[in-house]
Chains A and B, each alone.
Chain A
Amino acid sequence: MRIHCPYCGERPAEEFTFQGDADVRRPQGNEPSQMDEWFDYVYLRENPRGRMKEYWHHSGGCRSWLIVERDTDSHEVFGVTAARERKLSPQRKRAS
Chain B
Amino acid sequence: MPRRRLIVLAVLFVASAVAYMTIGARGNWGFVLEFRGAKLAALCLVAVALSTSTVLFQTITQNRILTPSIMGFDELFVLIVAMGVFVFGMTDYLVVTSWVQFVVSLVLMTGASLLLFGTLLLQERPDLMRMILTGLVLTVLFRSLRTLLVRMLDPNEFSVVQVSSYARFHQIETGLLAIAAATIGAALIGAWAMRHRLDVLSLGREAAINLGEDVRRGTLQALFLIGVLVSVATALVGPTAFLGLLVVSIAHAVTPTGRHAVLLVSAALISATTLVGGQALLERVFGLVTPLTVVIDLAGGVLFLVLVMKGLKR
Does A associate with B in a complex?
Answer: no
